[in-house]
Structure 1
Amino acid sequence: METHEKVDLPIVKKIAEEFKGTIYQRPPVRSSVKRRLRTRKVFDIEVLEGKDDKLFLLKISSEPGTYMRKICHDMGIILGTGAHMRELRRIRSGIFTENGLVTLQEVSEALYMWKNCKDETDLRKILLPMEIGLCGIPKIILDDNAVNAIAYGATANAPGIVAYQNFKKGDLVGLITLKGEGVAIGKALVDSNSVQQMKKGEVIKPNRILIKRDVYPRAWK
């Protein structure tokens, strides 16, 4: 963050503390979403260092959809100096961190070796199973007979659920097969405690289908 006037580091640290917790944000003018006032949660914000009393390095952990440049702008207003985001670096997203990242050049070279030399060694080092993306969110194991219906866009219903981890209504949940294959990602329509009592009814509404259709047999008429 760069402030438009010089300000002492202790003051910036004090103001940063006020941005921890639930904050109100309106998306910037240059954004791809409607500019509605909304709430976002900042789990932690730390001022790591300052330079020339105008450049400040912040480390922020927040829920998805939080605008970092808006935090910088709003901090500038409270400081009375004005401020803007000078540079942004994402060091973590969900379970993924900077460790193990590869460059586009490395991807290009790995694809070249695979396509032209039939050597997939480098490509195998880069690619990860998509199921890894489901780590960190609750998962539901489906009966094989329920998989293909969901592949066609059906909701996950209680009779097709074999096992599940605890989740709350509205949570993002991963649907997997008995073999551990990713089927879909969806929104929980009920909480996991209710599933125990359900003999029928919708449990998860898929937002994104991961598995191809007809990999599993059709079990509906």
Structure 2
Amino acid sequence: MGLENATKIMNYVTEAGKEYICVMQVHCDIEKDLLKSIIEKFKGKIYQRPPVRSSVKRRLRFRTVNEIELLETYNRMALLRISSEPGTYMRKICHDAGILLGCGAHMRELRRIRSGIFTEKNLVTLQEVSEALYMWKSCKDEEDLRKILIPMEMAFCGIPKIVIDDNAVDAIAYGASVMIPGIVAFQNFKKGDLVGILTLKGEAVAVGIALVDSKNLSSLEKGEAIKPKRVLIQKDLYPRSWK
């Protein structure tokens, strides 16, 4: 959940890689070694058509499964850990695995344990949020609330970043592109990559699309480097140095 300007980057968080714990029920008795070999066939790029009950069109598409692991089995139940790109249907993997096994299978349970850089360790319950909010409003005690709220800059951990000079911040707040002379430091990125833009203090300025490769920045003296896609910083927070 995002608050205020952080809502602007929640879409990028949901588009990051996912990791799941999945319970699959096989419709026949099967040896563990055979089941493991079938499951491992789903690692890498796979074809996948969304299930009948889904929120998207049922078009055949590519999806990448980064990791798939058979953790344990019990009778006809199999516990799987799957790491994949967003938009991959775990229940379809279970269904397709059942087809390869020859007897069918379906997903019984699913739990997401990671979205981007955020894992179950970052989770808090709505009850904890409610109690922390009560303590802040009624008792002026913000200790619990500070434990729950995290800076939106944390969402930048999964993408390459650049640091810009303070004189360039306000221009970008008004929608200007990041010009090469205004870049102070940068991580490696390629043309077309999503890039996080930070101030010298580490404040989130915007997220944008790279117009050049980072390896070319050192040899360039002028021109556009990043085209902002979503501006996060408040206008006129930094001194205006543009006309």
1:102 pairs with 2:130:
no
Aligned-partner residue type, residue 119 of structure 1 = D
| Structure 2 unmatched ranges of 5 or more | 1-23
Query: Take 2:49 and 2:123, find their aligned partners in 1: how far apart are those partners?
Result: 32
Q: Which one scores higher on RCO, CA 8 angstroms, separation ≥ 6?
A: 2
Query: Take 1:21 and 1:34, find their aligned partners in 2: how far apart are those partners?
Result: 23
**Residues 165-180 of structure 1 correspond to what in structure 2 (within 5 A)?**
165-180=187-202
Q: Which residue of 1 aligns with 2:72?
A: 49
1:113 pairs with 2:125:
no
Query: Take 1:152 and 1:85, find their aligned partners in 2: how far apart are those partners?
Result: 48
Q: CA deviation at 1:114?
A: 0.8
Q: CA deviation at 1:100?
A: 4.2
Q: CA deviation at 1:182?
A: 1.0
| Structure 1 unmatched ranges of 5 or more | none
Query: Take 1:74 and 1:152, find their aligned partners in 2: how far apart are those partners?
Result: 49
Please list every run of at least 4 consecutive aligned residues from structure 1 whose deviation after the TM superposition is greater than 4 angstroms.
Answer: none
Q: Which residue of 1 aligns with 2:42?
A: 19
Q: How has the CA–CA distance of structure 1 residues 186 and 82 changed in structure 2, closer, same or farther, with 3 Å as cutoff?
A: farther
Query: Take 2:53 and 2:193, find their aligned partners in 1: how far apart are those partners?
Result: 29
1:145 pairs with 2:167:
yes
Query: Take 2:188 and 2:42, find their aligned partners in 1: how far apart are those partners?
Result: 31
Q: Which residue of 2 aligns with 1:93?
A: 115
Query: Take 1:80 and 1:215, find their aligned partners in 2: how far apart are those partners?
Result: 63
Q: Which residue of 2 aligns with 1:123?
A: 145
* Paired-residue identity, %: 71
1:3 pairs with 2:3:
no
Query: Take 1:19 and 1:8, find their aligned partners in 2: how far apart are those partners?
Result: 18
Aligned-partner residue type, residue 230 of structure 2 = R
Query: Take 1:206 and 1:31, find their aligned partners in 2: how far apart are those partners?
Result: 32
TM-score (norm 2): 0.81
Aligned-partner residue type, residue 204 of structure 2 = G
Aligned-partner residue type, residue 64 of structure 2 = K
Q: CA deviation at 1:43?
A: 1.7
Q: CA deviation at 1:155?
A: 2.9
Q: Which residue of 2 aligns with 1:190?
A: 212
Q: How has the CA–CA distance of structure 1 residues 29 and 209 changed in structure 2, closer, same or farther, with 3 Å as cutoff?
A: farther
Q: How has the CA–CA distance of structure 1 residues 104 and 11 changed in structure 2, closer, same or farther, with 3 Å as cutoff?
A: same
1:220 pairs with 2:225:
no
Aligned length: 220
What CA deviation, in whole Å up to 9, does each residue of 1:104-160 have, x standing for no partner?
100011011111221111101111111122123221001222222322333323232
Query: Take 1:38 and 1:205, find their aligned partners in 2: how far apart are those partners?
Result: 29
Aligned-partner residue type, residue 236 of structure 2 = D
Q: How has the CA–CA distance of structure 1 residues 130 and 11 changed in structure 2, closer, same or farther, with 3 Å as cutoff?
A: same
Query: Take 1:186 and 1:32, find their aligned partners in 2: how far apart are those partners?
Result: 28
Q: CA deviation at 1:64?
A: 2.9
Query: Take 1:156 and 1:32, find their aligned partners in 2: how far apart are those partners?
Result: 37
Q: How has the CA–CA distance of structure 1 residues 30 and 154 changed in structure 2, closer, same or farther, with 3 Å as cutoff?
A: farther
Q: Which residue of 2 aligns with 1:163?
A: 185
Q: Which one has a larger percent helix, Structure 1 or Structure 2?
A: 2
